Structure 1
């Protein structure tokens, strides 16, 4: 096998949005097959590359996942590399990027075991609503939205979340309800396509239901996405830069997804072929 395209046990045949990568790689003469990342029977020395794609239980076992990545990275080529995966699987990377000048959604960080009066924080910053988010999470798991009037409940929930890990407190961005997030997808540092995504919070109002591709017409926002990769300062085979509009009308980095992001290949003509060529260039 040339490429083990990594997924998890609950999704053995890859996500439908990204499954087109397999025939695109086959068209280049490469033998690529889905492989469950933690399959104990897998001998990683038998593949030329391990490509992290749909490992969507990794946040539930972060330390096991990054230890696995470090091991596999010594046996074969791994993308993205193990140091990137460790860095990106804790949202503390946002603090580092903010320190390099990237405009990030305002965040107050509460360490594991810590506490915070959410009502006092919201009042200080003039936030009408807040979002609580574990620093190790995916797919809005453990993420909650509260109005300022619900601050006592939010404070109690924050204390519960902080018992098991670091927690982020952010203003709720009302633009999500109409605009969603804009995801800018890059392969080997080169922009490929953009997708508009509805909010992941299940109780958030949404102006549209499904992700849709769009042609970026905001040069400043695309430049923001590019500047995020420049701030990372290391090669990334794939990256998804998620941008949202803050409550002052300015674009902000929400998250940089370089571990196991859905890349929405099926929504953008030629995207699977572009990624396949970027992969082949690494071999």
Structure 2
């Protein structure tokens, strides 16, 4: 068993555990820069930290005061293993964000909970595991000309498809076999994704620290950089800031940090597309001051103090 002489474990995955990025590997360089900014801010507060692969069987989790989810970006591909790991580690140390938030946020059914708590979200139809799938009928019944279908547990646009009534039968061929083991979510396709993009607001310690706009490459609807999307600095509107804070306020317990992705719906209203509380990319490299806010929030979390509004 490997013990760590650090206060905080910053969780990553084996693919990103290295300490240096190869020349030209901007993706890994960004990951390392983000963690470096946070580690430096923590150090200024007398808090030590180390990057740790969540799946490393040799780690002594009891040696940490808390663990912070950062780039565990393989959890949805290793969902059963990750869930078992959570069950074990929650008994050994504190998890940030709280374990109840992690479990809740892993499955996109949480969007229905947010809606029931008064948060405007993208319209969503849940297609439960082992259910019968008729995409064309679902689109017709909903009144949507086009939709987007994706797994309820997912990331990086895994098994995400744009579908209309003409392509429904073809898309069903890909989805039906997967329904034997997981649930899916169907949402209306929002044209603004392709014309304007998706806005992302970072909420840390109860405050919106900064925002970015994610833009899909021409002809695509997926804004993730895995699919050619780009990220741009963005000053959020006040109504967006209010929605982001309201969405985080609807969580119980209050998240220490997270990300609220939003877009305008078909009626032109701002709605939450995703609430990222597990391993959100925070783009602190575009706003280094956010690392200071994050470090301060983690310091208060470790002391057991409530987060400020």
Q: Normalized against structure 2, the TM-score is what?
A: 0.85
* Deviation of the 1:73 alpha carbon: 2.3
Counterpart secondary structure, 1:139: coil
Contact 2:217 2:229 in 1 (8 A): no
* Deviation of the 1:75 alpha carbon: 1.6
Matching of residue 210 in structure 1 with residue 212 in structure 2:
no
Q: Pick from 10, 16, 33 the counterpart of residue 11 of structure 1.
A: 16
* Deviation of the 1:200 alpha carbon: 9.1
Describe how 1:141-160 pairs up with structure 2 within 5 A.
Answer: 141-160=158-177
Contact 1:180 1:196 in 2 (8 A): yes
Larger deviation, residues 251-260 vs 61-70: 61-70
* Deviation of the 1:101 alpha carbon: 1.7
Contact 2:7 2:48 in 1 (8 A): yes
Please name the residue that 1:233 is paired with: 252
* Deviation of the 1:148 alpha carbon: 2.6
* Length, aligned pairs only: 281
Counterpart secondary structure, 1:102: coil
Contact 2:105 2:276 in 1 (8 A): yes
The gaps in structure 1 that reach 5 residues or longer are none
* Deviation of the 1:161 alpha carbon: 2.8
Give the Cα–Cα distance (whole angstroms) in 2 for the partners of residues 104 and 260 of structure 1. Answer: 20
Instruction: Sort the Cα spacing of 1:80 and 1:200 in 2 relative to 1 into closer, same or farther, 3 A.
Output: farther
Larger deviation, residues 240-249 vs 15-24: 15-24
Counterpart secondary structure, 2:84: helix
Instruction: Sort the Cα spacing of 1:97 and 1:269 in 2 relative to 1 into closer, same or farther, 3 A.
Output: same
Counterpart secondary structure, 1:74: coil
* Deviation of the 1:65 alpha carbon: 1.6
* Deviation of the 1:138 alpha carbon: 0.7
How much is the aligned-residue C-alpha RMSD, in angstroms? Answer: 2.1
Describe how 1:113-192 pairs up with structure 2 within 5 A.
Answer: 113-192=130-209
* Deviation of the 1:170 alpha carbon: 1.0
Contact 1:243 1:252 in 2 (8 A): yes
Contact 1:80 1:238 in 2 (8 A): yes
Contact 1:181 1:242 in 2 (8 A): yes
Contact 2:13 2:53 in 1 (8 A): yes
The gaps in structure 2 that reach 5 residues or longer are 1-5, 20-27, 303-309
Instruction: Sort the Cα spacing of 1:188 and 1:63 in 2 relative to 1 into closer, same or farther, 3 A.
Output: farther
Contact 1:133 1:144 in 2 (8 A): yes
* Deviation of the 1:142 alpha carbon: 1.0
Contact 2:203 2:244 in 1 (8 A): no
Describe how 1:84-95 pairs up with structure 2 within 5 A.
Answer: 84-95=101-112
Please name the residue that 2:289 is paired with: 270
* Deviation of the 1:154 alpha carbon: 2.5
Deviations 1:235-273 (A, max 9, x none): 211111111111221111111100011011111140111
Q: Normalized against structure 1, the TM-score is what?
A: 0.92
Contact 2:222 2:229 in 1 (8 A): no
